[in-house]
Structure 1
């Protein structure tokens, strides 16, 4: 497609305009696009730019390199550094999970989407994945839990017991399995998730903008109403878990490349 405009390459997330579609790319490939404060700020800003531009109707969100997103940067957590955008904490993890965007978002899962990466996927409306992509929530293995919408949203996307197995075991699932459960809309050949997602975005963008916005708003309304109260309890529980010894041990063990020693405290 012609007339592609790109942010500076050092940005932690970039936005390209492809006619009326925005291609937003997480851009920390050397860290498997793990989320730190810079990623949260850059992705949140890209979504704001997309939402404010009347010429852009649909956004595709993907990752640079071989991963979609490895989740929260545990080395940052181990060092005690916050991974949220300091200027917009209300946008939530990665600047997206609690960021209300009226236009459709399509995740193009080009590789592993783990932990917070899986929660970015759940913040999108449609999902296209490479055949070699994986989806998982390993937080319990690091003394944490999927607090960026994972435990709230996953159970609305797949059968309840499947959601619990994913969250309780931390075991990733492959793309074919996720598609069979209805979590992914399309499975693309290896390396083609962005192309297939852009094709899907063009089909969505062909609809009348007001009608498309209304469909998203009303389909999200019921789930959003249920989530509003659940987020309060989610945030209370997260603060409790984050203050535990195990929550400190998990990222520390990851950074030190050793098996964590859990105490249940």
Structure 2
């Protein structure tokens, strides 16, 4: 259902339900959040999420049983990814529809190949997504595209998603992993602070992470690296 592999400081989480085009059910939502947290606890500095086969994630599994348990698991996973202190990169390797687009939005950065598609067709099935989904879509891709996806139930391809900012870079899984490796060399405390601010963290928590950056050994390491004309080695402390 979910595979986890480590590439140095980068952990790759692969949705493995190709027979359902990686549709999310209760168990997969729970497994993804648990694996992501476990990898961060084990020292991963960047996570990459992708799908096995020809789809990133086709949405919620419509053969599943819906109710509070599923919704709690789905939104617990989505919101949980946004609260992780490390960057999460979506390697969108095909259609990302409904919950697939939500999963891509829960990631901090998105790399998409030529087969990627995005859409949130709740108006076609009578379902609904939470306010966070629509507001995040509006923030990332702008009000125009958000309204087209949410009010006209449109689907956009990779190139159009790039134009609107929904996709940050084009490329395959290898490109996403290479970018993640670059990001993993950056200062972890700074990345955690920046992500917290960008995702609307509270003033007290933001003040704490701000102070932690300025008081860190990594600040001293950066200064030493500049003086010694070498790349800094950040340790997150």
TM-score of Structure 1 vs Structure 2, range by shorter chain: 0.7 to 0.9
CA contact (8 A) 2:56 2:95 kept: yes
- What residue is the counterpart of 2:70 in the other structure? 84
- What residue is the counterpart of 2:223 in the other structure? none
- What residue is the counterpart of 1:71 in the other structure? 59
Task: Verify: 1:58 aligned to 2:41, yes or no.
Answer: no
- What residue is the counterpart of 1:196 in the other structure? 175
- What residue is the counterpart of 2:117 in the other structure? 134
Greater helix percent: which structure?
Answer: 2
Q: Residues 205-216 of structure 1 correspond to what in structure 2 (within 5 A)? A: 205-216=184-195
Write the distance in 1 (CA, Å) between the matches of 2:145 and 2:131.
Answer: 19
Write the distance in 1 (CA, Å) between the matches of 2:5 and 2:183.
Answer: 18
Give the gaps of 5 or more residues in structure 2.
204-237
- What residue is the counterpart of 1:229 in the other structure? none
- What residue is the counterpart of 2:29 in the other structure? 40
What's the RMSD between the two structures over aligned residues?
2.0
Write the distance in 2 (CA, Å) between the matches of 1:183 and 1:207.
Answer: 23
Call closer, same or farther: CA 1:59–1:43 in 2, change over 3 Å: same
- What residue is the counterpart of 2:84 in the other structure? 101
Q: How big is the shift at 1:161?
A: 2.0
Which of 152, 159, 182 is equivalent to 2:142?
A: 159
- What residue is the counterpart of 1:218 in the other structure? 197
Q: How many residues align?
A: 201
What SS does the aligned partner of 2:58 have?
A: coil
What SS does the aligned partner of 1:76 have?
A: coil
* Alignment TM-score, normalising by the size of structure 2: 0.79
Write the distance in 1 (CA, Å) between the matches of 2:144 and 2:55.
Answer: 27
Q: How big is the shift at 1:97?
A: 1.0
CA contact (8 A) 2:30 2:77 kept: no
Call closer, same or farther: CA 1:33–1:149 in 2, change over 3 Å: farther
- What residue is the counterpart of 2:130 in the other structure? 147
Call closer, same or farther: CA 1:94–1:67 in 2, change over 3 Å: farther
Q: How big is the shift at 1:13?
A: 1.4
What SS does the aligned partner of 2:129 have?
A: coil
Task: Verify: 1:178 aligned to 2:164, yes or no.
Answer: no
